[in-house]
Chains A and B, each alone.
Chain A
Amino acid sequence: MRALAFAWRSLLRRGGRSALGIVGIAAAGALMFDMLLLSRGLLVSVRELLDAFGFDVRVLASEGIPQSRLPIEHALETARALSALPEVASAVPFRIGEAEVAADSDRPDEVALFAVGATTRRIWTVVDGRDLSGREDDALDVVVNHRLAERMNAGPGTSLELRGRCSATPSILPPITVRIAGVATFPFDSGAQLTMASRFEVLDRLCERPAGEADLIMVASRPESGPDAAVDAIRKARPDLYTFSNDEVIERFERVGFSYFRQISTALAIVTLSFGIVLITVLLTVSVNQRLGEIAALRAIGFSRHRMAADVLWESALLVGIGGLAAIPLGMALSIWLDAILRSLPGVPATLHFFVFEPRVLWLYAGLLTGVALGAAIYPMWLVTRLPIAGTLRREFVS
């Protein structure tokens, strides 16, 4: 009988104990699996968000927090010039602003406003009505998110009155009337956010900013060139601007902002790994200690040390393997719950996730489980290989 079959029979012999070991590994494994999902989940999700609409490069006039950045002057011309670069597929200037819209309550609602300077690529998906167009007549058209449409009880074709929020003091500019062209989903929306997209003309009228200014230009590189080539080309053409790819954004976030989740996931993964090793070590050690006589007899009839050690190793592998497999669906279910908790953080986009599955997680998980199986088997394997046959047989007779 080969070692694997032998190990299986040994586990079945003490079914209750084996079941407990498997359940323990499943519980610890689920937590470990979730920590692996968390360790890079937020980065992966942010990456997906950033890449969602094909924009893989961002251009600013200066670095620093948004409130302190310089605007890009002559943004429309700059965007056209960037679009003409061979590495660039399209370049779209954006402005980010705020507005107020009055609902039925006595307090106006704040609306996040994205103004776009071109009519090509978008960062939203229209689900009802139509998108913004480039026609003169549609200059004051807007696209709103579901939440704003519900809040205002409005839809495509409805008009809204907007007042700008252009500085710390209340705006003295008169409100403007805009027309809802369509309802869209915005990937960066948080659950409670009211969002609107428009052309530059709307923000120009709301806040009287110098014409042609933009807060950033989003660039899509050509597939054959890639974002790095586009970044290099833009930096060469316009060294006065701050250009970075999504990769660089992610790398900075990873360094500065997301390390908490990586650290907590590492700490908890270590705890669960240790737990799994200790649990299986204890189970196997007790199991070995309870059948020393059998082991000595097998050694006496000719089973080699390696064979006995292999039996123990296979027992460990079976316990950890079965428990580890059971942990995956359990971990996926738990991750939905944990993800929902973290996504209630204020300002988190509704499409952002903290626990994200990638194929590499499975490989890493399998590797860690292998480590647990091996680590847990070390001591009991040592016990069986060091067992004095004659002395054990003698003790068994005496006892």
Chain B
Amino acid sequence: MRFRTLPSGRSARCIGALICASIAVCAQPSAGQATLAIRGGRVYPISGPPIGHGVLVVANGKIVAVGEEGKIKIPRGATVEDATGKIVMPGIVDSHSHIGIIANPLAEDSGDANESSGPIEPGLRAMDAIDPADPNIRMATAGGITTANIMPGSGNVMGGQTAYVKLRGNTIEQMLIPGAIGGMKMANGENPKHYGAKDKAPMTRMEEAALARGIYEKAAQYRAKWEAYNKASAAGDKTAKQPDRDLDLEPVVEVLEGKRTVHNHTHRADDIMTALRLSDEFHYHLVVQHGTESCLVVDELAKRHIPVSFTIVDSLGGKFETINLDLGCPGTLEKAGIKVALNTDDPITSSRLIIRQAALAVRGGMSEEAALKGLTIYPAEMLDLGNRVGTLEPGKDADFIVLSGPPFSVYSHVLETWIEGQKVFDRSNPQDLRYATGGFGVADRLPASSRGGN
């Protein structure tokens, strides 16, 4: 097979943009306008039971109808795609990813996830470091991911504001989801302790918690100051002095006000309890990220209704806090009524393998139904996007994927990925296939036999 050669890197993207400029469909990341009907496939709406021979109708980037074939009217003029023998399900939501912010390859200058100059960095925004051209993003669409929570790393107690994005567009502005301000990354346990090596705080878990409490107290004070000022000026008090704006504390206030969810990297059971203790004290929305030992504190999570965005890897270890990794944990959490998402933590696991993450949870004892929800609606809810993505229901964004076979089979492939009614990945396209199977540079490389020589 021969592939069209393009110069590598940025220049290739410019050429790509020029080619696209003349084709309406790829000129803009805006919602697809045409009406499309996918018929004949087995449809997993997630909001209800699977439909044996289903129809999905989308228009203007939204889902118009979902149901059994014959019962759903396919609008006249709709483009009809036959999905007989295939699976149609919602686009996958990765609730823990670093695509674009830890770009491929993992060279030193392409890692922007950890601002290791200070442990409390709420003013940082992931959006200011995400490279929309990172090949990892296209690889994620090849894995069926349509929405992601792209986060700063776990090197800081408070690592910065996360970005809730759709995996389309050439700028971060085009990727961001309107109205979604993103979350706040926190971390406890081993990773933030690296400051100890520089003779800086924190070097213990005690200090990590103290630093976290400190920033929340400060933000609470800041909020009180503004409230007092707003109240006074509303009452016509001309002498009221407006407090200085603090870009670090504003997003922390959003956490305290329940507008911004905390995504807390936490593995060990006692660290999970510390995360719970902080969220109890400051009444914020918490998602336990990783949750390696969450089964050991399952009751504590269940009674607080704290969801877990679980990370599965092939073997235990690599660091102390993952030494008790247990494939059975997601299933145990499910049985306790806890909502569990399965994430990639890309680059820890390639985004192309996100369905495998959930399949391994099934191997460990989770039900297939919960595992499908753990790829779709549960992570969507963890990002407060449950009303927009995560199921196939009329009115929701037309984000869906087409699979070649049963979702949790190793032999199944993602054939197509659609975001808001536009196809962003098509396995039958050789260039797209490279992103599904090959490394980031593969599209630029040719086998030696094709390059001549030998």
Q: Do A and B bind each other?
A: no
